[in-house]
Structure 1
Amino acid sequence: MVLFCRSAAFAVRQAASFIFTGTRRYSTNAPFKFILASKKGDKENVGLIQLNRPKALNALCDLLMREVNEALDHFEEDSQVGAVVITGSEKVFAAGADIKEMHNWTFPACYTGNFLAHWNRVCSAKKPVIAAVNGLALGGGCEMAMMCDIIYAGEKAQFGQPEILLGTIPGAGGTQRLTRAVGKSLAMEMVLTGKRLTAQEAKQAGLVSGVFPVQQLVPEAIRCGERIASNSKIITAMAKEAINAAFELPLAEGNRLEKKLFYATFATEDRKEGMTAFLEKRKASFKDK
């Protein structure tokens, strides 16, 4: 028993000491099972998380979500990274939650176990997260995309919340974020009928901000991440906080928070550098301070 405990502790220490190399996580133990993680961009300042469960159409099982959270944690701690892109394959972003995994769950187990609670890690990231959606983004896949700050879609992407067809409803924010993104009427139609939106319809409805050819989607998302990462990371975090508050607060309170965050920028070196660079007609050199 003592030998087992020592071996387990050693494995935990070794698993924690990984580095990102190429397109997957390497350590002295096994890499991630259901995702690939790497750093992209000319300055390697954009984190890329690729859902990689092809036989299950990237169905979001508990382990996959925990791996996404772990990769996000490390990208958040990496001072070089200024933005993160989450994508799937060219054919599917994520076809939904893993029905086989949740099929035998009961109400007491869901309620006492706070089922799906850790799925919200994506939307709590301080660094901007961009969803690059090719193919199907259904159910939990659509919900994961909506947890991100920006959604780019491939021209063949489809978005939907078809849980009603399985005798349940969205449980990871679908009814809330979809309604805020596209309005009550369309959200009701999608949730109550399982209707899907094409990439072009999603763009028209305000769910996504850009539609691109399939093979150009991820490079475009990485370029967006590079543009974000070139700015001050601390000021970017403030801007993200202010925008997110618009969905939580009344207008007057939101404006007050914005003013406080705006004033707070004057306590940073980057605000002074940005304005000085503008006056001197040169490019700002931000230090994230």
Structure 2
Amino acid sequence: MPLPGLETLECYRLEVADFVATATIDRPPVNAQNGKFREETCRLFDVIHDSPEVRAVVLTGAGRAFSAGADLKERGGMAEIRGAYPRHNRLVRAAFDSLIECDKPIIAAVNGAAIGAGAALALCADIILVAEDSFMSMTEVDVGLAGGVKHILRHFGQSDARLMIYTARRIPGPELLRMNVASACLPAAELLPAAQAIAREIAGKVPLAVRAAKRSFTLVEDMPLHEGYRYEQSQTVALATTEDTREAQRAFAEKRKPVFKGR
């Protein structure tokens, strides 16, 4: 059964099992991102945010590409239409933000090319795994555009980020691992199972605590140490009185698997 509100997806395939949602970008031939894709991305991750049936998400691509980036055919004549770019840019930001703001951790399984907006989409995930034959690249300078620097700087070091942006080079999977952008670089056949295994591991933890941890990552990223840690401590105080935290502690003491109710 699809999640309520996601029965009519055209750009994604969605499967939910064992509290793990596997969202597969499916927009042939290269999973390019157009307005429809971005609207569905917002709807997909907003619904997942509110779905108790999902505790972790795997995001991957169908075929040989994760996502080849923005569908440039949509941009024809946009500069001549008043208001077109502000509307377009707002939707692009909203699509990326829907991943960052989703309460459920997202594991990106980058199975192939992740170019431009495709790389930015993967970098909005919480955990990144890459296939050995995958790559990321930011090709904006090749087509006279700009963007993506902030997303790149969240994961790449200063020199590597500039190298990537200024040259539009392809950074292959093994290099992404060496640069500490990815947590693992795997043969293509092992990529999705590994990502789903991590998602199932996360799904077995206290859901409220995992969601609080993700909110902390999102909110404290640009905070000074004192204010950031103070916020995290407030999360711990709030969690201490929840039924799920008490159940986790009882199960630990009794050496059994906990049963969580999301409260």
Give the TM-score taking structure 2 as reference length: 0.90
Query: Which residue is 2:166 aligned to?
Result: 192
Q: CA–CA distance in 2 between the matches of 1:115 and 1:38?
A: 25
Any stretches of 5+ residues in structure 2 without a counterpart? none
Letter in 1 for 2:55: G
Deviations 1:35-57 (A, max 9, x none): 212213xx3x11121111122x1
Query: Which residue is 1:127 aligned to?
Result: 104
Deviations 1:56-84 (A, max 9, x none): x1101110121222222332332121111
Query: Which residue is 1:80 aligned to?
Result: 53
Q: CA–CA distance in 2 between the matches of 1:161 and 1:195?
A: 7
Identify if the C-alpha distance between structure 1 residues 180 and 34 changes in structure 2 by more than 3 Å, giving closer, same or farther. closer
Structure 1 residue 175, shift from structure 2 partner: 0.8
Contact (CA 8 Å) 1:83, 1:228: kept in 2 or not? Answer: yes
Q: Which has the larger radius of gyration?
A: 1
Contact (CA 8 Å) 1:152, 1:209: kept in 2 or not? Answer: yes
Structure 1 residue 112, shift from structure 2 partner: 5.7
Query: Which residue is 1:283 aligned to?
Result: 257
Letter in 1 for 2:52: S
**Residue 256 in structure 1 maps to residue 230 in structure 2:** yes
Give the TM-score taking structure 1 as reference length: 0.83
Aligned residues: 257
Q: CA–CA distance in 2 between the matches of 1:238 and 1:154?
A: 30
Structure 1 residue 105, shift from structure 2 partner: 1.5
Identify if the C-alpha distance between structure 1 residues 108 and 71 changes in structure 2 by more than 3 Å, giving closer, same or farther. closer
Q: CA–CA distance in 2 between the matches of 1:91 and 1:108?
A: 35
Query: Which residue is 1:118 aligned to?
Result: 94
Contact (CA 8 Å) 1:90, 1:215: kept in 2 or not? Answer: no
Q: CA–CA distance in 1 between the matches of 2:252 and 2:143?
A: 56
Any stretches of 5+ residues in structure 1 without a counterpart? 1-18
Query: Which residue is 1:62 aligned to?
Result: 35
Query: Which residue is 1:20 aligned to?
Result: 2
Backbone CA RMSD of aligned residues: 1.9
Give the fraction of aligned pairs with identical amino acids, expressed as a percent. Answer: 30
Q: Relative CO higher for 1 or 2, CA cutoff 8 Å, sep ≥ 6?
A: 2
How do 1:263-274 residues align onto structure 2 when only pairs under 5 Å count? 263-274=237-248
Structure 1 residue 275, shift from structure 2 partner: 2.1
Letter in 2 for 1:216: E
